[in-house]
Structure 1
Amino acid sequence: MHKTPVTTYLKLVAVALFWGGTFIAGRLVAKEIPHMIAATLRFTVACSLLLPLAWKLEGGLPKLNRQQLHATFALGATGIFLYNICFFSALSIMPAGRTALFVALNPIVTALALAALFGERLGTRRWLGIALAFVGAAVVITRGDLLGAARDLSASLSKGELLMLLAISGWAAYTIIGRHALKGLSPIAATTYASLWGLLLLACGAITELPQLDVSHLTWPVLGAISYLGAFGTVIGFIWYYEGVKTIGPARTAVFNNLVPVFGISLGALILGEPVLLSMVVGGLLVIAGVSLTNR
């Protein structure tokens, strides 16, 4: 019987740590420079690493047919452009740990979208997991005051939370497009093309933000955080995650995503001194339990 190397699991834990750390790095950057400029710099770093990597591992990028051209553009528009604008905008007004909790809803939103758009059957167990995850999200959003939120829904949903819900919707679209529309492209090729499209869209938006940029805010900590987001949060995280998919399969690999909000909350408390509310812990555990039940 083939035994999975321990390094595979260690790398997947490290990926969750890297992705949890993106919320702390994103919080540092979002408070200092305009959001589309921040996202543009992040993917400038990512693309400068992805391109030589694609050449080294796969001999370059393949020529795209019309369908792949449209699909990679859609990936860049949703998972790179839309997600990152909402990501940085939310982090400018929300604590990093609280923002990280919303990422745990990604598989749930994706499952619901697949059911609505492609008629994918969910079954009783998966519906139960979805319901449990949304109860957990409601506990987080309302800070444990579910009854008060029911009386005044608009007061319980802040702009930052709405932005993160939009961000995970964009990532769900990215996941679905990648699953259904990218036949014949390797993960590295698809991600590189998506990042290039996303960078182009972000750069167009960043031009309009240049008058708002204060160059004195581009300090070494901010530049370091941008480099971290591009290198560890995007490129290394992606490579190791797909190594895990190849070695132990997508279902077992996806379980490690549940560690992302755990690391996000922990790092937010340790590095940024953010409070850890009881509602965040209880709600986060409910979300993770619901996601685990849905993806089991």
Structure 2
Amino acid sequence: MKESPNYTYVLLVLSMMLWGGTWVAGRVLAQSVHPMTAAVLRFGLASVILLYMCWRAEGRLPRLKRDQILPVVFLGATGVFAYSYFFFTGLQTIPAGRAALIVACTPVCIALLSAVFYGEKFGPLRILGGLISLVGVSVVIADGDPLALLAGGMNPGDFMILGCVVSWTAYTLGGRSVMKRLPPLSSVAWSSFTGTLMLLPVALNQGLIADLGRVRPVDWGCVVFLGFLATALAYYWYYRAINVIGASRAGIFINMVPAFAVLTGFLLLGEPIHLSLAVGGTMVITGVYLTNRA
């Protein structure tokens, strides 16, 4: 039975809410451990949960054919290893707001390449929706002054965050190809597992063992949130959405993440919230709606 697009949209919005919460959970976790340690804990837990979900659904662990191994490794290398590396390295040198604006270019890249490689329609309405959504993101994260984020020219951290855009675009489009022969749940499970294996040597080299001794109870709570909710469930829902409505229409929802991040910071950390969230958030939702109109 074909999945309803409306149900898919609900799952996508829930995924973006969870990804918005990763900014808060990641900030808390980063106070105790190295970023690569956090990434290993997050995706290691997610891999265990996802493989268990596969076992429950199919009665056994998912199997890969020989010609499926390299495509799945590609997903792990792009969506888990490369994205984590570029993301955490970039945030060491540039503000989170500037990074979020750069990452907001991801849906546009996904839509353009989907039109080129998969023939997805990319007409004037989608272009308009993408632009409105992108401007809305900049309004949210710059507190009403988007041009302030662009001041100062490019620096090495900006190029690291651009690496996030490239790696997530590759993960999204690569997943669409992989899911022609592998279910979304298996695709996410194996990509998370292979990505964790790639992260592990880097984390060990940067003090993984010592970091484990500094993990606080609140940090383990953040790991559970990041690994189970924000990765195992949200990544799976995102891939299901790509399978139903296409990469470009699912990708535009990513622009909701900064708005949810600001809202989560207000609710959990008491960070100030301004009118720019309402204005920018409305623009993001409008852009997403225009992009996904039938």
What band does the TM-score fall into relative to the shorter chain? 0.7 to 0.9
Unaligned runs of 5+ in 2: none
Matched-pair contact (CA < 8 Å) for 1:23–1:100: no
Q: Deviations over 1:107-161 (max 9, x none)?
A: 32311233455665522222222332333344456554456667x4517x894x6
Q: Deviations over 1:149-176 (max 9, x none)?
A: 67x4517x894x6654432332121110
2:64 maps to a residue whose letter is K
1:62 maps to a residue whose letter is R
Q: For residue 250 of structure 1, report the CA deviation from its aligned partner.
A: 3.0
Question: Does the C-alpha gap of structure 1 residues 272 and 69 become closer, same or farther in structure 2, counting only changes over 3 Å?
Answer: same
Q: For residue 23 of structure 1, report the CA deviation from its aligned partner.
A: 2.0
Superposed counterparts of 1:1-296, under 5 Å: 14-58=14-58, 59-66=60-67, 68-89=68-89, 105-115=105-115, 121-140=121-140, 143-145=143-145, 152-154=151-153, 159=157, 163-210=160-207, 213-239=210-236, 249-250=244-245, 260-296=257-293
> Percent same amino acid at aligned positions?
38
2:153 maps to a residue whose letter is S
Question: Does the C-alpha gap of structure 1 residues 20 and 88 become closer, same or farther in structure 2, counting only changes over 3 Å?
Answer: same
Unaligned runs of 5+ in 1: none
Q: For residue 285 of structure 1, report the CA deviation from its aligned partner.
A: 3.4
1:171 maps to a residue whose letter is W
2:35 maps to a residue whose letter is H
| Higher mean C-alpha displacement, 252-261 vs 233-242 | 252-261
Matched-pair contact (CA < 8 Å) for 2:33–2:214: yes
Task: Give the Cα separation in 1 of the matches to 2:273 and 2:97.
Answer: 8
| Higher mean C-alpha displacement, 205-214 vs 74-83 | 205-214
Q: For residue 183 of structure 1, report the CA deviation from its aligned partner.
A: 2.6
Q: For residue 37 of structure 1, report the CA deviation from its aligned partner.
A: 1.2
Q: For residue 230 of structure 1, report the CA deviation from its aligned partner.
A: 0.6
Question: Does the C-alpha gap of structure 1 residues 274 and 180 become closer, same or farther in structure 2, counting only changes over 3 Å?
Answer: same
Aligned length: 288
Task: Give the Cα separation in 2 of the matches to 1:173 and 1:103.
Answer: 14
Task: Give the Cα separation in 2 of the matches to 1:226 and 1:94.
Answer: 24
Matched-pair contact (CA < 8 Å) for 1:100–1:265: no
SS at match of 1:33: coil
Root mean square deviation of aligned Cα: 3.9
| Higher mean C-alpha displacement, 6-15 vs 122-131 | 6-15
What TM-score results when the alignment is normalised by the length of structure 1?
0.77
Q: Deviations over 1:229-272 (max 9, x none)?
A: 111111233455667788xx437977876654443221111212
Task: Give the Cα separation in 2 of the matches to 1:27 and 1:94.
Answer: 15
Matched-pair contact (CA < 8 Å) for 2:24–2:261: yes
Q: For residue 201 of structure 1, report the CA deviation from its aligned partner.
A: 0.9
What TM-score results when the alignment is normalised by the length of structure 2?
0.78
SS at match of 1:40: helix
SS at match of 1:217: coil
Matched-pair contact (CA < 8 Å) for 2:139–2:277: yes
Task: Give the Cα separation in 1 of the matches to 2:61 and 2:202.
Answer: 28
Task: Give the Cα separation in 2 of the matches to 1:133 and 1:44.
Answer: 33
Question: Does the C-alpha gap of structure 1 residues 125 and 240 become closer, same or farther in structure 2, counting only changes over 3 Å?
Answer: closer
Question: Does the C-alpha gap of structure 1 residues 212 and 240 become closer, same or farther in structure 2, counting only changes over 3 Å?
Answer: closer
Task: Give the Cα separation in 1 of the matches to 2:7 and 2:49.
Answer: 23
